[in-house]
Chains A and B, each alone.
Chain A
Amino acid sequence: VQRALEDAAAAVRAVKELHGQTARLTEKASQLERSFAKHGTELQALSTTMAEHAELISQHAAHQGKQSELLAATAQTLTRYVEAVDNLRARLFIEDRSLTDADFLVHYQIGERLKRLFTQRLPDLTNVGAGAGPRDASGTTALRREAHQVRLMCQALFEGVEPDLKRLAAIVTGSGQVALSEPDGRLLERVQQEAARLRKDIEGTGHPYIFIFDLPKETTADSSQYELWTSAVAGEQVAFVVTPGYVVSGRRILLPAVTTGSRDESDKTQS
């Protein structure tokens, strides 16, 4: 019995101990459960947050996609604008008639041919009847007569709608009073042909042009603005334009050649 009681007491102690352990385990379990519950809540909150962030990311991605699309569309628009601006600039350049392009260059050659005619060949033609003209000691009369004759020749060839070749011949021959030598006759013929060719070539370009035969009264003979005919004095008043200026599309290809003298002389000569 004693042993049984001891065994029972030991069993009770063991049970008590087990009970204590169970209680501690229960407590631990309970603590763990509380902790799990707490972390679960936190996890749930985190999960919710993550879901929210995922949603936000998704929204941002969608937004970014839209932004990228917008950006691409803007880039395309910009490219189109740049192309349009480029085309516009190119078109303005190509269609700008005020710029000197290859088609216009012919006028510089025409200018040189005109200058050759005005300053070389026409004065040569004034020598045809040179023997008949009066000469003074200084030769001024000869130069003035030449300037006047050259002006008349230029007017005959370039003032009217068509070059007046007969009028040119009349000026050269004194209306038929001077018989031309063979070389002079050839020279006149060459001048007539060249004048006719020049008029044709000028018209052929299609560019608007003018010949300047007259200048405003009291214009000063300024060598930066005009060619000065032989013996003309810079700074004096222009008596008359000897050879015309050639202006095409507003550009001065050839300057007018002017001579100077007193007003009386000028009026007399012009009349």
Chain B
Amino acid sequence: MVWTPKIVGAIDLGTHGSGYALAVVSPLNDDPMNRKVVFYTRYSGARADYPKNLTAILVAEDGHVMAWGHKARTLWAEASDQGNPDRLGYAYAFKMALKEGDSNPDMPTVGGTLSLADPGEVRHLVSSYLSEVRKVALAEITAMGYTEGELRWCITVPAIWDDEDKQAMRQAAYDAGFPEGEDRLLLSIEPEAAALYCQVRMVELADGSGRKEKLNIDIDGSRFMVVDAGGGTVDITAYESSSGDDQRITLTNLPAIGEIGVATGGRLGSEYINHAFRSRILADRFGPESIRRLEQEDSADLLKLSDEWETAKTTAEVEHDPDGTARFIDKVTIDVPAAVWDVLDEGARARLTETAGGKPYRLVLQPAEVEALFTTVTDGIVDKVEEQLANMRKTSGAAADGGETIVLVGGLAMSTYLRQVLRQRFGDEHRILVPPNPALAVLEGAVHYAYNPEAFASRRSKYTYGFAMARPWESGVDDPRRKFNDSRGDMMCRGRFAIAVQRMQRVVIDEPFAFSLEPAVASAEKVTVQLYRTRASDPRYVDEAGCEPVAELVIDISETVHLDKRPIDLLLFFGRSQISGEASDRTTKRKFKVTADFDQML
């Protein structure tokens, strides 16, 4: 009997904030346009309701979780100010460290006994955090009368993550107690989730008109770019939709979407504006000595100050110069906690009071200063969008009407300044869409995906997949060093990339790709077939730059050693989270199943 969920839940594990949302599966809730999705908002340690909690965790020396979210940060600040006598470990924004080599020394995100250099420790942190989210979610769904056995989960992952990173996330989720199995735990690529959200909800056009439009993925051939401006990184991914000839496109059965070009982006998230605030503004106004003392003795109040900036930074209003350039018109005022104020020297206090119109305990940033902090990331975002637009043109040609659709999501998309900067640079030529709750677009989109994974039942392959094979040697084309004679004396070329699925080829979930081969050595008792992938569309050899092995299939052909012809059929199935292979010996009818040990596609 096929298992079907009665309730679905999604977790958006963000760099800065994380949240989860739920939807019940029922004919009453089937219409995605009117689907009720609920967000959890009452996180422990948060003073007010909000749909996201801080992505922070505090662990004891033995690794068990002391607190998570806002509460973790508060407790860590207290412990840190006391010299961390209990040898606690604190981590914040640790998600990106799951991707190996992605730790950022500029941005301190750990304290105490923790280090993000150890991938095992990072996975443990992610797993521990997910476990806490799961506990809260299970308490809520139980109160609603549901059980975990009725629940399908979906966890979001960045587009730039590779298969191994996704597998690490999946394993971390299993370690956290999430159910195993493709159907019980889905992974959703963040920009795809955001796109799905923009497809089912009306999205505002960022031209100041207040007009709302849909994304229109359901129109065959439509192209769009998702700019996910989050806490840590800005991820920019371009897609094109395409339906099969026989595919009926509906809202619940969208055409295949495939990445155009390569996902781009960088460390341009909101945290980098905060970092600039601390390193430039605070260091300048307070003086390096005071900052050093505060970091050592009163990090709790220093955190409060950063929090004030975090909430105040998006509040300053923006207007246009006659040439359309966006300019901040408001200054930003931040309260300086008394404990911080007392650490400052007389000169610093006097200067701060003077710039605050005679009011002490205030830090005032002039519009130009706010703008300078924002441009540390907005200039880079504009460049990256430009780069991705060029990529789209290069890969798929110019759009039919010359304009592309740019979808802006993520917490930083709330910034009026960023919207205006993008509008000024790209608004005349391209359509810019911002959903009503950009910070929650990925989360809600992931719920819709968990509700109906068939919405993206097919996509275009991100890689070219193929097998390492011996092929007839071509004189003048193949390197002589690759030449060898097979058992029949034919001249063969070793290491050829025999393409099974080409990059950008439409791949339907669980539809088989057939491929046949024959052993080159007559006496061989087994055949080892290696599956490779590359971003190149038409690779010739498996050892070209960019090609990498991803799985190995060992086929026992000992029973047919005596035969002259020994054909083997291979079938590749692209599941939601795995590639599985099935090899069958055509002579003996024996079958061998192989599953690649990582996530290949979602």
A interface residue numbers (CB < 8 A to B)? 85-87, 89-94, 99-102, 105-106, 108-109, 111-112, 115-116, 119-121, 123-124, 127, 130, 135, 138-140, 142-143, 146, 190, 224-225, 229-231, 233, 251-255
Q: How large is the interface on B (under 10, 10 to 19, 20 to 34, 35 or more residues)?
A: 35 or more
Given A108-B50, A120-B312, A230-B362, A94:B28 Cβ within 8 A? yes
Partner of A100, one of B40, B311, B360, B361: B40
Q: How far is the CA of A66 from the CA of B444 in the complex (A)?
A: 50
Q: Is the CB of A253 within 8 A of B333?
A: no
Q: Is the CB of A93 within 8 A of B144?
A: yes
Stretch at the interface among B41-49, B258-266, B396-404, B522-530: B41-49
Q: Is the CB of B360 within 8 A of A143?
A: yes
Min CB gap B535→A, angstroms: 37
Q: How far is the CA of A148 from the CA of B24 in the complex (A)?
A: 48
Residues of A with C-beta under 8 A to B146: 89
| B29 contacts A by Cβ under 8 Å | yes
Q: Nearest chain-A residue to B23 (Cβ)? A: A93
Q: Is the CB of A224 within 8 A of B47?
A: yes
Q: Nearest chain-B residue to A225 (Cβ)? A: B47
Q: Is the CB of A120 within 8 A of B316?
A: yes
Q: How far is the CA of A194 from the CA of B591 in the complex (A)?
A: 70
Given A100-B41, A100-B51, A101-B36, A116:B145 Cβ within 8 A? no
Q: Is the CB of B314 within 8 A of A112?
A: yes
Q: How far is the CA of A225 from the CA of B28 in the complex (A)?
A: 39
Residue from B201, B332, B362 having most chain A Cβ neighbours under 10 A = B362
Q: Is the CB of A100 within 8 A of B359?
A: no
Residue from B42, B315, B332 having most chain A Cβ neighbours under 10 A = B315
Q: Is the CB of A90 within 8 A of B24?
A: yes
| B597 contacts A by Cβ under 8 Å | no
Q: Is the CB of A130 within 8 A of B357?
A: yes
Q: Is the CB of B38 within 8 A of A100?
A: yes
One digit per residue, 1 when the CB lies within 8 angstroms of any chain A CB and 0 when it does not, for chain B 296-322 equals 000000000000000110111100000
Q: Is the CB of B28 within 8 A of A230?
A: no
Partner of B37, one of A102, A190, A233: A102
Query: Top 6 nearest A-B pairs by Cβ distance?
Result: A90-B26, A116-B315, A139-B360, A99-B38, A251-B49, A93-B24
Q: Is the CB of A108 within 8 A of B51?
A: yes
Partner of B28, one of A85, A87, A119, A224: A87
Interface of B is mostly: loop
Residues of B with C-beta under 8 A to A135: 358
Q: How far is the CA of A146 from the CA of B333 in the complex (A)?
A: 13
One digit per residue, 1 when the CB lies within 8 angstroms of any chain A CB and 0 when it does not, for chain B 322-361 equals 0000000011110100100000000000000100011111
B interface residue numbers (CB < 8 A to A)? 6, 24-26, 28-29, 36-42, 47-51, 144-146, 201, 311-312, 314-317, 330-333, 335, 338, 353, 357-362, 414, 436-437, 440, 444
Given contacts A86-B26, A94-B36, A102-B37, 15 further A-B contacts (CB under 8 A): A85-B145, A89-B24, A89-B146, A90-B25, A101-B37, A102-B36, A105-B39, A105-B436, A120-B316, A120-B333, A124-B333, A127-B357, A146-B359, A252-B48, A252-B49
Partner of B353, one of A86, A121, A139, A190: A139
Partner of B144, one of A92, A123, A124: A92
Q: How far is the CA of A106 from the CA of B51 in the complex (A)?
A: 12
Residues of A with C-beta under 8 A to B40: 100
Residues of A with C-beta under 8 A to B357: 127, 130, 142
A-B contacts, 6 listed (Cβ < 8 Å): A90-B29, A93-B38, A94-B28, A102-B444, A115-B311, A231-B361
Q: How far is the CA of A94 from the CA of B6 in the complex (A)?
A: 13
Q: How far is the CA of A99 from the CA of B39 in the complex (A)?
A: 7
Q: Nearest chain-A residue to B332 (Cβ)? A: A120
Q: How far is the CA of A144 from the CA of B238 in the complex (A)?
A: 53
Residues of A with C-beta under 8 A to B311: 112, 115
Residues of B with C-beta under 8 A to A92: 144-145
Residues of B with C-beta under 8 A to A146: 359
Given A139-B359, A143-B361, A119:B312 Cβ within 8 A? yes
Min CB gap B347→A, angstroms: 16
Number of inter-chain CB pairs below 8 Å? 119
Given A92-B145, A130-B357, A230-B335, A101:B38 Cβ within 8 A? yes
Interface of A is mostly: helix
Q: How far is the CA of A233 from the CA of B414 in the complex (A)?
A: 32
Q: How far is the CA of A116 from the CA of B6 in the complex (A)?
A: 41
Q: How far is the CA of A89 from the CA of B332 in the complex (A)?
A: 47
Q: How far is the CA of A85 from the CA of B47 in the complex (A)?
A: 36
Residues of B with C-beta under 8 A to A140: 360
Min CB gap B313→A, angstroms: 11
Partner of A253, one of B28, B48, B440: B48
Given A86-B6, A87-B28, A142:B358 Cβ within 8 A? yes
Q: Is the CB of B26 within 8 A of A87?
A: yes
Q: How far is the CA of A91 from the CA of B28 in the complex (A)?
A: 8
Q: Nearest chain-B residue to A115 (Cβ)? A: B311
Q: How far is the CA of A7 from the CA of B263 in the complex (A)?
A: 131
Q: Is the CB of A231 within 8 A of B360?
A: yes
Q: How far is the CA of A49 from the CA of B81 in the complex (A)?
A: 94
Q: Is the CB of A105 within 8 A of B437?
A: yes
Q: Is the CB of A89 within 8 A of B144?
A: yes
Q: Is the CB of A101 within 8 A of B26?
A: no
Residues of A with C-beta under 8 A to B49: 100, 108, 251-253
Residues of A with C-beta under 8 A to B42: 251
Residues of B with C-beta under 8 A to A142: 357-359
Given A115-B311, A119-B312, A138:B359 Cβ within 8 A? no
Q: How far is the CA of A116 from the CA of B346 in the complex (A)?
A: 30
Residue from A102, A123, A231, A253 having most chain B Cβ neighbours under 10 A = A102
Given A99-B38, A106-B436, A251-B41, A233:B315 Cβ within 8 A? no
Min CB gap B65→A, angstroms: 21
Q: Is the CB of B51 within 8 A of A105?
A: yes
Q: Nearest chain-B residue to A228 (Cβ)? A: B335
Q: How far is the CA of A130 from the CA of B353 in the complex (A)?
A: 13
Given A115-B315, A120-B333, A230-B362, A90:B437 Cβ within 8 A? no
Residues of B with C-beta under 8 A to A100: 38-41, 49, 51
Partner of B145, one of A89, A112, A130, A229: A89
Q: How far is the CA of A229 from the CA of B362 in the complex (A)?
A: 11
Min CB gap B1→A, angstroms: 13
Q: Is the CB of A94 within 8 A of B359?
A: no
Q: How far is the CA of A91 from the CA of B29 in the complex (A)?
A: 9
Q: Is the CB of A123 within 8 A of B333?
A: yes
Q: How far is the CA of A100 from the CA of B443 in the complex (A)?
A: 14
Q: Nearest chain-A residue to B42 (Cβ)? A: A251
Min CB gap B593→A, angstroms: 35
Min CB gap B2→A, angstroms: 15
Q: How far is the CA of A91 from the CA of B316 in the complex (A)?
A: 42
Q: How far is the CA of A106 from the CA of B332 in the complex (A)?
A: 24
Min CB gap B348→A, angstroms: 14
Residues of A with C-beta under 8 A to B26: 86-87, 89-90, 94
Min CB gap B293→A, angstroms: 21
Min CB gap B122→A, angstroms: 30
Q: How far is the CA of A15 from the CA of B436 in the complex (A)?
A: 126
Q: Nearest chain-A residue to B145 (Cβ)? A: A89
Q: How far is the CA of A130 from the CA of B359 in the complex (A)?
A: 10
Residues of A with C-beta under 8 A to B440: 105
Q: How far is the CA of A163 from the CA of B366 in the complex (A)?
A: 29
Q: Is the CB of A254 within 8 A of B39?
A: no
Q: Is the CB of A231 within 8 A of B338?
A: yes
Residues of B with C-beta under 8 A to A233: 338
Q: Is the CB of A109 within 8 A of B437?
A: yes
Given A102-B37, A121-B330, A230-B362, A94:B29 Cβ within 8 A? yes
